[in-house]
Amino acid sequence: MDDLLYVGFILAGAATLVIEAYRNFNSVSARHPFELHPILKGVEVRNLCTSGEILFGFIWYAFFYLIAYAVILSSAEVYALVSNASTATKTIGAAGAEIGVDNPFIEGVISGASTDYSKPIIVSALIVSSLSLGAVRPIESTMRAIAHRFAGVPRGIYRVIENLQRKVDYARVMERHPNPLGGLFKAKISAIGQLNSNDESAHSKGRSKKDMPPSGATPVKWSIEKTQITEMLQAVDCLRQVTNPVSRNLYFPLYNLEQLRSLSEKLDDQYYRLKSTISDLDRKVEKSEGDFRPPEDALLEERLAELINEAMLMKSNLMAYFAVLFVRNNYALYSPDKRDQPKLDNNPVRAIRDAVFTAEKDERNSFVLGLIMASALSFLSIFLLYQQWDRWYVMDHPEVYEEIWHPIAESAQASPSGNTGGSGINDARLRREAEQQWLRQRSPELLAQSIWDQLLTLSITVSGVLFVMIARDIRREEQSWPEDWNFYQFPILRFLTTSILSGLSACFLAPLVKIAQIWWFANFDITNNQVIDLFRASGGQFALQFGAGLILGVSALTLMDRHKDSGWTRRRTVSFALGCGILYAVYQWCTLYLTLPLDVDSPSSAPFSRSVRDALILSALPAMFLVFFGWLLELSEKARPKYDMPPDKDTAEKRRMS
């Protein structure tokens, strides 16, 4: 009953941490895109991603809390296990068995399951209170940022915004559609041109009145400002078609827009303020009572600068608002018009939908597909390698199947044809049969060992590549990740520092999987001396896995950066990935050679030693993954969208003709 009560206190402490995690999870910690799109400042995380994404991200965030809770709560047993290692080696029994601690204080701490019921609550309160400290706050912010990234915050929103900026040619799309703000701006430009209608020199050069700049402005500067404002207003007019209060319920029916009412009202106010700014461009100034005169050049330049700022802000916020609606609508843009015209030029909604539905993240797709393909092929290779090693082993040690061979031989002699000629041939045949039967009996054990080896290499590969992929995405969003480097200026320091977490995760996951393997094969009853023997025998190899994680991280970063280089062909990329895989295998062999005893037997018929076999097993999945990853990255080049950048008129005409 005492143990059950203690479990209840543990669960209560865990529930407290989960509640605290939920409270903190809704606070946005990332920079992008909120500083670039101020309208999203203050919006809670739950309104920036789908329900499935927020659940997935929150599970990871709560998992981080529970890991810290479990580590701190079990620290007393870990301390006792390490400090009493010499005593534990003489102990037989479960890890929770008495280990001979004579100090009453330490004994009371270790046996807290029956005496100290308040310990889980104290640990939980300690974690919650420490998160507000300045020294611990960055750790919590990092955990929250990682959880938000898993939930697509802010990357899901920012990816949609990036697609809207890069992949829609608003001038071409809105060419045959109404442009309320764009048309109003053109009308005001014509009115401004009338201010300089008396400039005979301009007319003598054949310049239209509506294109004439203010008298104090240079033609080049006026042309740039006019083009810049026109492009921004065309984007606003295009996006306004699906986000205005009348039609947005038609395009985003799955999302309750009432949750973003304040955001919508703020955006509408900005829209009408922008419209008013355009209308006031040519507003005359009252010099004296009843005397209204056209604005002077300085005032007109000031109005144009204000218009540029407001148009830029409106475009950014409108893209951000559309991205929120699109993501919260479960990544769907519903079109009430089922008769979508095939030509992209004649359908703004079709252009927007094609841009936001464009396949993105070649690296992530290639990562998942490469991992699946490498896992299947490496598992089969590991299992077959184990079987072949047993065949070589049984050739040198026929005594292993003696217990199987004797019954088979006795049964053959007792049969009516047992005393026929060719006894030597029959003996060899019976031994082969016993050998095959022994190999079949070994198959379940080899299969289990292959699964655990696969879990070990899979965990190291996933963590090693995933950490550098996330770090690279963060740096790219902050525009602090240069990709235009060359091999004679290889950024090794930047790649190594980015891959540190990959190396640390490999050091942590390698012993964790091995302990879980021992625990599984021991029928969930692992002993202290088993854990200590594991670290004594393989502690050096676990520490050297840091280098394996670094190799994986640097290789993945190189492939992700260089695969888009036009000078890198598919063959060159795959060759580089294969070289990285070979380097990883050589490194694993070095770790085994340095840490394993040299007197390990190897079959005489085997073409390589046991250390080479183990190195092949440890490097099969990572090496195959790098090859498949590089190949899929190059293959994804052909699947890129048609309109990565707005085409020029000649290219657009050729596409329409084709």
Give yes or no for a contact between 610 and 600, defined as CB atoms under 8 angstroms apart. Answer: yes
Given a contact cutoff of 8 angstroms between Cβ atoms, the answer to whether 493 and 443 are in contact is: no
Alpha helices, DSSP H only, in 74-118? 75-83, 85-88, 104-110, 112-115
Write down the pLDDT at residue 207: 46
Of 557, 553, 541, whose CA–CA distance to 584 is shortest?
A: 553
For residues 455 and 482, the model is more confident at 455
Which of residues 267 and 407 earns the better pLDDT score? 267
Task: Answer whether residue 91 shows pLDDT above 80.
Answer: no
Task: Let me know: does 272 contact 181? Beta carbons within 8 Å.
Answer: no
At 223-241, the pLDDT tens digits run: 677 788 888 998 899 888 8
Measured in degrees and rounded to the nearest 5, phi and psi for residue 294 equal -60, 150
With the CA atoms of 188, 191, 192 and 198 taken in that order, what torsion angle do they form, in degrees rounded to the nearest 10? 170
- pLDDT, tens digit, 9 for 90 and up, residues 507-541: 999 999 999 999 898 888 888 788 888 888 888 99
Evaluate if residue 416 carries a pLDDT over 80. no
More confident position, 337 or 428: 428
* DSSP string over 491-547: -HHHHHHHTHHHHHHHHHHHHHHHHHHHHHHTTT---HHHHHHHHHHHHHHHHHHHH
For residues 229 and 183, is the Cβ–Cβ distance under 8 A? no
pLDDT band at residue 493 under the 50/70/90 scheme: very high
Q: What is the pLDDT of residue 112?
A: 44
Range 492-510 average pLDDT: 92
Say what the pLDDT of residue 651 is: 47
Spatial contact of 595 and 550, defined as CB atoms under 8 Å apart? no
Distance CA 56, CA 102 (A): 46
Q: How many CA atoms lie within 13 A of 114 on its CB side?
A: 6
Encoding tokens for residue 14?
């865990």
* Better pLDDT: 139 or 366: 366
- Amino acid letter at 7? V
**Least confident residue range of 7-21, 151-165, 289-303, 330-344:** 330-344
Q: What is the pLDDT of residue 546?
A: 95
Residue 76 pLDDT more than 70? no
Q: Is the pLDDT of residue 620 over 90?
A: yes
More confident residue, 75 or 448: 448
Whole-angstrom distance, CA of residue 14 vs CA of residue 116: 16
Is 506's pLDDT higher than 90? yes
* Residue pLDDT, tens place only, 16-42: 888 888 888 877 665 544 566 777 776
Task: Summarize the chain as % helix, strand, coil (round to 5).
Answer: 75, 0, 25
pLDDT at residue 115 greater than cutoff 50? no
Query: What's the confidence (pLDDT) of residue 29?
Result: 60
Instruction: Select the highest-mean-pLDDT range: 114-123, 163-172, 448-457, 476-485.
Output: 448-457
> Which string of b and e fits 324-339 if b means at least 16 CB within 10 Å?
bbbbbbeebbeeeeee
Residue 464, pLDDT > 80, answer: yes
Read off the pLDDT of each residue in 603-622 and give the average, rounded to a whole number.
Answer: 91
Q: Which helix (H) or strand (E) holds 288?
A: strand 285-288
Which pLDDT score is estimated for 205?
Answer: 47
pLDDT of the residue at 119: 72
For residue 359, the Cα-to-chain-centroid distance in whole angstroms is 15
Give per-residue pLDDT as tens, 320-379. Answer: 888 888 888 878 887 655 544 444 445 788 788 877 776 555 688 899 999 999 999 999
Tens digit of each residue's pLDDT (9 = 90 or more) over 256-266? 666 677 788 88
pLDDT tens, 199-217?
A: 444 444 444 544 555 555 5
Distance CA 279, CA 271 (A): 13
Most confident among 172-186, 190-204, 304-318, 441-455 (mean pLDDT): 441-455
Of 64, 244, 56, give the one whose Cα is nearest residue 156.
Answer: 56
* More confident call, 591 vs 196: 591
Q: What is the mean pLDDT of the chain?
A: 77
Considering only CA atoms, give the Rg of the chain: 35
pLDDT category at 388 given cuts 50, 70, 90 is very high
pLDDT of residue 292: 59
Q: What is the DSSP string of 252-269?
A: -TTS-GGGGHHHHHHHHH
Q: Can you tell me the mean pLDDT for 546-555?
A: 95
Angle at 510 between CA 505 and CA 512, to 5 degrees: 95
Q: How far apart, in Å, are the Cα atoms of 293 and each of 184, 195, 274, 286, 547?
A: 21, 10, 23, 6, 76
Q: What is the pLDDT, as a whole number, of residue 143? A: 79
Rounded Cα distance between 343 and 271, Å, is: 29
| Mean of pLDDT values over 141-149 | 78
Q: How far apart are CA 86 and CA 98, in angstroms?
A: 14
Of 149, 163, 157, the residue nearest 474 (C-alpha): 149
Q: What is the DSSP secondary-structure string of 545-560?
A: HHHHHHHHHHHHHHHH
